[in-house]
Amino acid sequence: MLARRAGGKRSASWRYRGRLEALNDPYILARRRDAQEDFQAAVEADSSLREQYGRAIAEMNRIQQQKRELGDRYRAFLMMENPSYASATLRRALVARRLLERREAGASEEQLSGLREELLGVADQPAGLDRRLLEARLRDLREHLSDSTAQAVLAGRSPAAAAREIVEGSALRSTDAAREVLEASTLSAGDPALETVSGLYTLFRDFQSARSGLEARQQEVARRLGQARYAVRGADVPPDATFSLRIADGRVSGYEYNGTVAPPYTSFYGMFNRYYAYGDGTPWDLPERWLDRREALDLGAPLNLASTNDITGGNSGSPVLNRDLQLVGVSCAKPERSRRRGGRGRDAYCTPRSTSSLRSGRVMRIA
């Protein structure tokens, strides 16, 4: 499980770095600018489209400007409730703060049951991980919020010292401890984690409200822009890789890699080579059934292929068809591999180098 989580973090790191690089790439920005200008010109040239969608891009620009104005709060708060990056103690404290607030406003215990379930549903973390994640989030607050807010949260302590005191002293440090104080009705605003949250809660709540409103508006404008692009382009251009139901074409191709050229196909020879080179207990380990049937396999048969299809992570498992519409495999996005091919910026603009890994259908038939 830890290896899978670490792999997910690496993939996210490559993805976000790629997006940032793409936004600073003059070629990609120029192509994006040209495409947008062509699209706007097509909308303006059609009175019906102009009436329906003419203000959509300007509205999207306004939304992005409003999000920029919240930039420091995004950086300070965005990871506070993310299960992958937030301290479990901090997440429980945020829920507990809402619970106490509603209780003070006169909510019945029955009305508070949903918040209690949410609080107790936060999974425990090892104390060391909890502390380190809390320290990281407190550093975010200190770096991106005003001095007065940071002082209210840290009370003169360093993020490391504050995190240690909070995790060691809070009744919200574990699910069992939290359940105990909830059942005894002894949870109070004086809990170390709740004291920390109270210093920023109003600012955090206002940010969440503003962010939700902006995200809802952005989603609606994006929907309208998608309709406009379809009205302009029709079925000539496949939709972007945004989880939409679609057919996207591509070309099987090798790619430059580590100073050489990687072939478009891998084989079973390569799969077993990795296993025997690295051994058991490594990422190249193979199930026993593959080892048992090694002699029955055509080891020269293609296993994986690389293509220029524009796909995203959620497309993994989608069918791959050849030009005769025969099923030849399933798609499998590989961010690390796309990074090496120069494809990390494909969220901004898809080029032939923005290739993705595709799993061969031969594996499905054998396995």
Q: Give 120-148 as a DSSP string.
A: HTSPP--HHHHHHHHHHHHHHHHHHS-HH
Choose among 247, 240, 243, 210: nearest CA to 225: 240
Choose among 353, 315, 352, 307: nearest CA to 332: 315
Q: What pLDDT shows up at residue 349?
A: 56
- The answer on pLDDT for 340 being more than 60 is no
Q: What pLDDT shows up at residue 367?
A: 45
- The answer on pLDDT for 94 being more than 50 is yes
SS3 266: strand
- The answer on pLDDT for 5 being more than 90 is no
Q: pLDDT by residue (tens digit) across 256-270?
A: 878 888 888 889 999
Q: What pLDDT shows up at residue 253?
A: 86
Choose among 353, 354, 349, 351: nearest CA to 333: 354
Name the more confident of 327 and 66: 66
Dihedral angle over CA of 296, 301, 307, 312, nearest 10? 0
Q: What pLDDT shows up at residue 220?
A: 96
Name the more confident of 242 and 361: 242
* β-sheet bridge partners, residue 252: 307
Q: Note whether 330 and 273 are within 8 A (CB).
A: no
Q: pLDDT by residue (tens digit) across 166-219?
A: 999 999 999 999 999 999 989 888 999 999 999 899 999 999 999 999 999 999
Global pTM exceeds 0.85: no
CA distances from 121 to 94, 130, 189, 271 (A): 13, 16, 21, 41
- The answer on pLDDT for 343 being more than 80 is no
Give me 317's structure tokens. Answer: 């498992």
Q: Count Cβ atoms below 10 Å from residue 251 Cβ, excluding itself.
A: 11
Q: Count Cβ atoms below 10 Å from residue 84 Cβ, excluding itself.
A: 10
Instruction: Please list, residue by residue across 2-31, b when 16 or more beta carbons sit within 10 angstroms of its beta carbon and e when fewer do.
Output: eeeeeeeeebeebbeebeeebeeeeebeee
- The answer on pLDDT for 20 being more than 50 is yes
DSSP state of 174: S
- Residue 302 confidence class, pLDDT cut points 50, 70, 90: confident
User: What is the rounded distance in angstroms from the CA atom of residue 37 to the CA atom of residue 29?
Assistant: 12
Q: pLDDT by residue (tens digit) across 330-339?
A: 887 654 444 4
Q: What percent of the chain has pLDDT over 70?
A: 87
Q: pLDDT by residue (tens digit) across 223-239?
A: 999 999 999 988 787 66
Choose among 306, 234, 296, 301: nearest CA to 263: 306
